[in-house]
Amino acid sequence: MALRTHTCGELRKSDVGQAVQLAGWVHAYRDHGEIVFVDLRDRAGRTQMVFDPESGKELCEQAARLRREDVVSITGTVSERTGGVNPKMPTGEIEVMATGLEVLNKAEAPPILPDDQAGEAAEEHRLRYRYLDLRSQKMQHIIGTRHRVLQLMRSYLAERGFWEIETPFLCRSTPEGARDYLVPSRIQAGRFYALPQSPQLFKQILMASGCDKYMQIVRCFRDEDPRADRQAEFTQLDIEMSFVEQQDVMDLMAGLYSAVWQEVLGVEIGEIPVMAYADAMERYGIDRPDLRFAVELKDIGDLAGKTDFRVFTEVLKSDDGVVKAICVPGGASMSRKQIDGLAEWAKQQFGAGGVPTCKVGANGTLEAGISKFLGDVAPDLIQRMGANEGDLICFACGTFAMASQVLGELRVKLGRELGLIDESQWKFVWITDFPLLHWNEEEERWDSPHHPFTSPVPEQLEQLESDPGSVLSRAYDLVLNGSEVAGGSIRIHRTDVQQRVFNLLGIDEAEAKAKFHFLLDALRYGCPPHGGIAVGLDRTIMHLTGTDNIRDVIAFPKTLTGMDLMTQAPSEVDPAQLEELHVRVVEEEEGE
């Protein structure tokens, strides 16, 4: 026989008079002498249970001994709530007059309380006692939303002919931009599997296999430094399609995100605009621009060259030197200490020389900061920046990359601190036309910004070797409110083109064959044109649930140091097990 007839969140006024049995956790209890009130909680919500003298003295005494997080089953009759409706609870019109109580598990005093204020507990305690934290209303909402989104995505893609196909977790180590997690083989001594950074190669091989439309909600693993929106293991929606162009993939994803936002939030996101990478870098200094506020970077090199500010004039003597600026509405209200702190921030974050500033005063004047060096260019500068009284103009100079990076991040920093960002908006944008290759100054070689299987623009194949830095890729990123939520590309489907790209990346034919022979063989034997995308599910759920911490949207996450505080992983392993795996741990000698 079931321990409950209803959940704690479904009873309403229409159920008055019905005999019910509820089960869950004691969320709160109030002993008013003869009457005991208990708020019973489960995943669906809370219901008030009432133990009064009519329930019997023994039952009331038993109820008075209940404490937080006891697991109980209570029988009773639904009644209209006495004392008025509780608007804070969906079940606030009713209460259950208890006739029976069974304690299923008596709980010890919990180290944290899983109520609406659970988020106030230190995060290390929330992760240590994750099973308690997950009981909170906030976390139940997040995990429930995640489930809904995954089901929506599966249904949306299944209706469009996609097959969900699992790819291996134990696979070959291949270069994809981060360190691999390695798994030693017990049977093959001295050999290792790698946990996949993504299913990239497998999904391309599935296209060569004739599967046409593939999708998978898959765990991926990257041994890199975690941050607020990154985890060592994360989940992505992986998609690949045959016989498609870039626009086909983008249209599919626009429809998918529109369906999710409509279903979960009731929001119409509308048509998603497209912005070229070069345009994004020029205007916003970053390839994932936050479009919720209008502050843009402006090149003022021509004006800066006419000033008496030596920092500007010296930089402009270099062939690649630029001077850029942003105008921050209302920024002049910042204190001198806050404004001076911007220079230290730029030095710590980027190694930049500083952030020169000036304020816009009354009657089109510039004040404070470097205003005394700007002289006759002040009116033209104010006009170009679209500045008004009370605004703050911030400058950065150096290479295009350095100036753009500093002002791009500063733009977002001040946008948040000064309340310039409308948090109610959803601003999606596609970023396209990325460079195929990026020159690595330190190692003096070409790198792939996305991955080495991204297709160059066909019209630029002829200049692949003669001018590789000018070649654009057929890659595309979906950005939401300054965060990349999905990224993909049309892939290389010809062996000759793939080897040409490998050559530019310093991977000769012998190395390519050793590392990617299975992919290259698949391309040789008739692989169709194909492309796809990977959706960062964790980041997407973060947006939908309004959290800025990725650990909030994963049931059992790791800390910033990669620890699972609940299970205490990673842990030491028995030496006998290591020996069986042919692994020897070398301990550092004292003093090393």
Which tens digits make up the pLDDT trace of 258-312? 999 999 999 999 999 999 999 999 999 999 999 999 999 999 999 999 998 999 9
Domain annotation covers residue 343:
yes
Domain annotation covers residue 95:
yes
Tell me if residue 26 falls in helix, strand or coil: strand
Domain annotation covers residue 33:
yes
User: Contact 489/475 with Cβ under 8 angstroms?
Assistant: yes
Which CATH number is 32's domain given? 2.40.50.140
Domain annotation covers residue 148:
no
- Can you tell me the mean pLDDT for 205-226? 92
Domain annotation covers residue 112:
no
How far apart CA 195 and CA 173 sit, in angstroms, is 8
Confidence (pTM)? 0.92
How far apart CA 196 and CA 214 sit, in angstroms, is 17
Domain annotation covers residue 1:
no
User: Contact 206/491 with Cβ under 8 angstroms?
Assistant: no
Tell me if residue 504 falls in helix, strand or coil: helix
Q: What pLDDT shows up at residue 364?
A: 81
Of 369, 402, 421, the residue at which a domain comes to its end is 421
Query: Where does the pLDDT of residue 552 fall: very low under 50, low under 70, confident under 90, or very high at 90 and above?
Result: very high
Residue 54 has pLDDT above 90, yes or no: no
Of 105, 120, 140, the residue at which a domain comes to its end is 105
Domain annotation covers residue 226:
no
Residue 357, domain extent: 293-421
Of all residues in the chain, what percent are helix, strand and coil, respectively (each to 5)?
35, 25, 40
- Can you tell me the mean pLDDT for 161-169? 97
Tell me if residue 531 falls in helix, strand or coil: strand
How far apart CA 340 and CA 426 sit, in angstroms, is 33
For the chain, how many helices (H) and strands (E)? 17, 22
Which CATH number is 305's domain given? 3.30.1360.30
How far apart CA 403 and CA 355 sit, in angstroms, is 10
CA 192 from centroid of its chain's CA atoms? 30
pLDDT tens by residue, 339-355: 999 989 998 888 777 89
The structural domain count of the chain equals 2
DSSP 480: E
Domain annotation covers residue 21:
yes
User: Contact 451/437 with Cβ under 8 angstroms?
Assistant: no
E strand or H helix at 167, and its extent? none
Of 84, 105, 126, the residue at which a domain comes to its end is 105
CA 265 from centroid of its chain's CA atoms? 18
How far apart CA 501 and CA 489 sit, in angstroms, is 15
Q: What pLDDT shows up at residue 262?
A: 97
Residue 557 has pLDDT above 70, yes or no: yes
- One-letter-per-residue 3-state SS of 236-256: EEEEEEECCCHHHHHHHHHHH
| Residue of higher predicted confidence among 68 and 178 | 68
